[in-house]
Amino acid sequence: MNSPWKGKAKATNQDYDDLRPTITYRHILSNNLGVRDPLRVVALCDSDAFYAACERVRLELDPNVPIVVQQWESIIAVSYPAREFGISRMDKIKDAKKKCPNLLAVHVATYKEGESEPSYWKDVDTRTHKVSLDLYRRESNKIITMFKEALPIGEVEKASIDEAFIDFTRPVREKLLERYPYLVQVPADAPNGMDSPLPPPPPIKWDDLGTVLLPEGTDSAGEQSNIDVDGGTTWHDVALSIAAELMRKIREDIHSKLGYTTSAGIARNKFLAKLCASYKKPNSQTILRNQAIPSYLHPLPFQKIRFLGGKLGDALAKEYDVSTVGDLLTISLDEIQSKFGENALWIYELLRGIDRTEVKEKSALFKSMLASKNLPKPITQPLDGHQWIRVLAAELALRLNDARESMPTLWPKTIVLHARKGYETSRSKQATFPFVRNVTVDVIATAADKLWKELTGDSKTVNITSVQLAFTGLEKAEMGQKSIEGFFATRDIQRTFLKRSREEDEPLVSLENTDLAVPKSSDIEAVSFQCTRCRKTIALREGQATGGPSEVAQRLATLRSEHGDFHFAQDLANSNKGSVPVPRGSSLKRQKVEPKGIAKFFIKK
Ligand code: TTP
Ligand code: CA
Ligand code: CA
């Protein structure tokens, strides 16, 4: 019990005063207490040696084979068996092979000039190939899908290619009430009704649930696991143990179905979950009980903590001449705020294990997709660019079509080509992406080739060292029950597009005119309308303009719709020729379209 924070017991008690909150019936019975829920449980689950594991699974290798993944001459992932030979990401391939002569080094898949699919080529050359991470993205999606399927009422937030935060609060709450039905009813003799504290929690068997961090800073499992610390188990510990059960089951399923081992951290918030996820790797999970938070955090060098590294960490270290989290606890909030501003409250709280950021699924849709290549040998002849454009187009085609498997109506609004010339400023060109049914390598390459020509202009020679091709404004068109095959077939689809456009109050690229399908209320009695695209006045024929107002409105609506179809067909014809329709009078032209997402970085002001 020689924990360094023991000596500052007084300060610590104040600093960590929320470790044993009183949990009442109101807490356990309320539906959504969000980030302040005293029974909140969050996990971070990270895959072990991820790229190496993907290659091992792909090659159906024994898990004990030492394997590394290589990108050109560097190592980017090291399997755990290879780590036993002392190999790390820092090693050069040559040195790694010296450490382990049986080492299997797999080069990442690459796109090769002239090929539309990435592959594992015998010889790779950065002058003619481009790295493909598609396998890892696909495997990553499979893992995320398993998290989501296992936890329909839990929130899953992908945090990187091989890790995700999972909010277990709701699934755990459901299990708590199921297992301890006496919690569902406030007892008649409860002194404060809903605000009465819950009865004492049951003892917990931590066996097999993972590594449980204890206040002494030791870890335990098995026989030591039922030790009561500081007055014993809390309902939050019960919640953690249920989350650990669920997490373990999901990790086992991922292992048996997909072949990947993972490591998880389970705690009361994202910051702490991430912090303890790598406590014991590989293939393990670590549980940080609230009571263990102070002793776990206290000795950590704060500059090792992600948010407190870098310049901020340097500044803190310099200002206070300290190195651990514990050292920083003696500094008051006023003091930190006077030096680092009002916002420094989050530093103060983080040091005390408080983090109220939500686990929230980012939009399932990445608004942009980017393929890029740094050229070891600059492009000097404008014509040579087309080969690279095809390579980048192949990657975008594969990624878009992959994404369309789960979102068949995913549509990129814009294609952007960006090139850096030596050390000069970068240049870019963009265009509306043609509206075609099948997004093939050819379609993308044709659109990009045009941009390349615009970008290089009449230059006889160029000096381009980096090329990037991106889709921006990727969005899901609401297609209702229609299949992708019917995409362009019917007017209904067109209306759906129009509807989307209106709802989002944002111009649509090919069909931006929302007035075409549905008359505005002021038009109800009108017998003609002006098309906002071609500016023509389109009127009902004589005789059609008679009857009740609703009949006239109906006919007018039909006329608008037919006229819309005419433009639609024209757009299609244009886009199939590879040219990009920006119709006359379109809202795109009238309204300046602000670049979004990654596009911001491409478009020259
Ligand atoms: P990490 O999760 O950092 O590492 P890892 O999964 O290889 O190993 P660990 O078991 O320690 O978690 O990164 C996930 C993948 O991201 C990794 O397999 C390869 C890739 N990656 C790089 O390409 N370059 C890098 O510098 C890092 C850190 C990762
Ligand atoms: Ca990992
Ligand atoms: Ca990771």
pLDDT tens digit sequence for 187-200: 999 999 999 999 99
Place of tokens 């849709």: 365
378 lines ligand 1 (CB under 6 A): no
Pairing mode of beta strands 129-131, 155-160: unpaired
C-alpha 47 to ligand 3 mean position (Å): 7
pLDDT: is 16 or 49 the higher one?
49
What is the C-alpha to C-alpha distance for residues 93 and 72, in angstroms, rounded to an integer? 9
Place of tokens 């050292």: 327
pLDDT for the residue numbered 56: 98
- Nearest atom, ligand 1, residue 48 CA: 10
Contacts of 162 (CB under 8 A, 6+ apart): 46, 47, 50, 136, 140, 143
137 lines ligand 1 (CB under 6 A): no
pLDDT for the residue numbered 344: 86
pLDDT for the residue numbered 410: 86
Residue 298 has pLDDT above 90, yes or no: yes
Mean pLDDT for all residues in the chain: 81
pLDDT for the residue numbered 562: 67
pLDDT: is 244 or 421 the higher one?
244
pLDDT for the residue numbered 482: 39
Tell me the pLDDT tens digit for each residue of 246-294: 999 999 999 999 999 999 999 999 999 999 999 999 999 999 999 999 9
What is the C-alpha to C-alpha distance for residues 16 and 347, in angstroms, rounded to an integer? 14
What is the C-alpha to C-alpha distance for residues 284 and 211, in angstroms, rounded to an integer? 8
Distances from the Cα of 130 to the Cα of 127, 227, 388, angstroms = 8, 55, 9
Q: Which of 70, 76, 283, 286 to mutate to test the pocket of ligand 1 (most atoms within 8 A of CB)?
A: 76
DSSP 3-state of 304: helix
CA triplet 357, 360, 361: central angle to 5 degrees?
A: 155
Residue 139 has pLDDT above 90, yes or no: yes
The answer to whether residues 191 and 25 touch, using CB atoms and an 8 Å cutoff, is: no
Whether the link from the prior residue into 282 is cis, omega within 30° of 0, is yes
pLDDT for the residue numbered 113: 85
Tell me the pLDDT tens digit for each residue of 422-467: 666 788 999 999 877 789 999 999 999 999 999 999 989 999 999 9
pLDDT for the residue numbered 362: 79
What is the C-alpha to C-alpha distance for residues 36 and 91, in angstroms, rounded to an integer? 45
Atom 12 of ligand 1, residue of closest alpha carbon? 48
159 lines ligand 1 (CB under 6 A): no
% of the chain at pLDDT higher than 70: 76
What is the C-alpha to C-alpha distance for residues 75 and 438, in angstroms, rounded to an integer? 37
Residue 15 pLDDT class (50, 70, 90 cuts): low
C-alpha 559 to ligand 3 mean position (Å): 57
% of the chain at pLDDT higher than 90: 58
Tell me the pLDDT tens digit for each residue of 371-412: 999 998 899 999 999 999 999 999 999 999 998 888 888 889
Pairing mode of beta strands 155-160, 163-167: antiparallel
Residue 586 has what DSSP assignment? Answer: -
Place of tokens 């000596």: 7
Pairing mode of beta strands 129-131, 410-411: unpaired
Radius of gyration of the chain from its Cα atoms, rounded to whole angstroms: 30
Residue type, 533: R
pLDDT for the residue numbered 567: 59
The answer to whether residues 415 and 447 touch, using CB atoms and an 8 Å cutoff, is: yes
pLDDT for the residue numbered 566: 65
Residue 5 has pLDDT above 90, yes or no: no
Tell me the pLDDT tens digit for each residue of 555-571: 777 777 666 656 555 55
261 lines ligand 1 (CB under 6 A): no
Residue 601 has pLDDT above 50, yes or no: no
Place of tokens 């995409």: 487
55 lines ligand 1 (CB under 6 A): no
Hey, what are 450's tokens? 């045009």
The answer to whether residues 326 and 239 touch, using CB atoms and an 8 Å cutoff, is: no
Residue 368 has pLDDT above 50, yes or no: yes
49 lines ligand 1 (CB under 6 A): yes
Residue 505 has pLDDT above 70, yes or no: no
User: pTM to 2 decimals?
Assistant: 0.74
Distances from the Cα of 354 to the Cα of 41, 44, 270, 286, angstroms = 13, 16, 9, 18
pLDDT for the residue numbered 308: 86
Residue 97 has pLDDT above 60, yes or no: yes
Tell me the pLDDT tens digit for each residue of 518-563: 222 333 346 777 776 776 777 777 667 666 666 777 777 777 766 6
pLDDT for the residue numbered 502: 28
- Nearest atom, ligand 1, residue 163 CA: 2
pLDDT for the residue numbered 306: 79
Residue 580 has pLDDT above 80, yes or no: no
The answer to whether residues 336 and 308 touch, using CB atoms and an 8 Å cutoff, is: no
44 lines ligand 1 (CB under 6 A): no
Residues around ion ligand 2, judged by CB within 5 A, are 46-47, 50, 162
Q: Which of 56, 58, 162, 286 to mutate to test the pocket of ligand 1 (most atoms within 8 A of CB)?
A: 162
Atom 4 of ligand 1, residue of closest alpha carbon? 49
Q: State residue 165 phi and psi, 5-degree precision.
A: -90, 140
The answer to whether residues 139 and 161 touch, using CB atoms and an 8 Å cutoff, is: no
pLDDT for the residue numbered 548: 65
pLDDT: is 602 or 529 the higher one?
529
Residue 501 pLDDT class (50, 70, 90 cuts): very low
C-alpha 275 to ligand 2 mean position (Å): 13
The CB density around residue 514, as the number of other CB atoms within 10 Å, is 21
What is the C-alpha to C-alpha distance for residues 238 and 230, in angstroms, rounded to an integer? 16
pLDDT: is 363 or 23 the higher one?
23
pLDDT for the residue numbered 590: 32
Mean pLDDT of 45-71: 98
Q: 344-356 burial by CB neighbour count: b if 16+ within 10 A, else e?
A: beebbebbbbbbe
Mean pLDDT of 309-326: 89
C-alpha 49 to ligand 1 mean position (Å): 6
Q: Pick from 232, 263, 221, 235: which is nearest to 169 by CA?
A: 235
Residue type, 295: S
The answer to whether residues 571 and 511 touch, using CB atoms and an 8 Å cutoff, is: yes
Residue 1 pLDDT class (50, 70, 90 cuts): very low
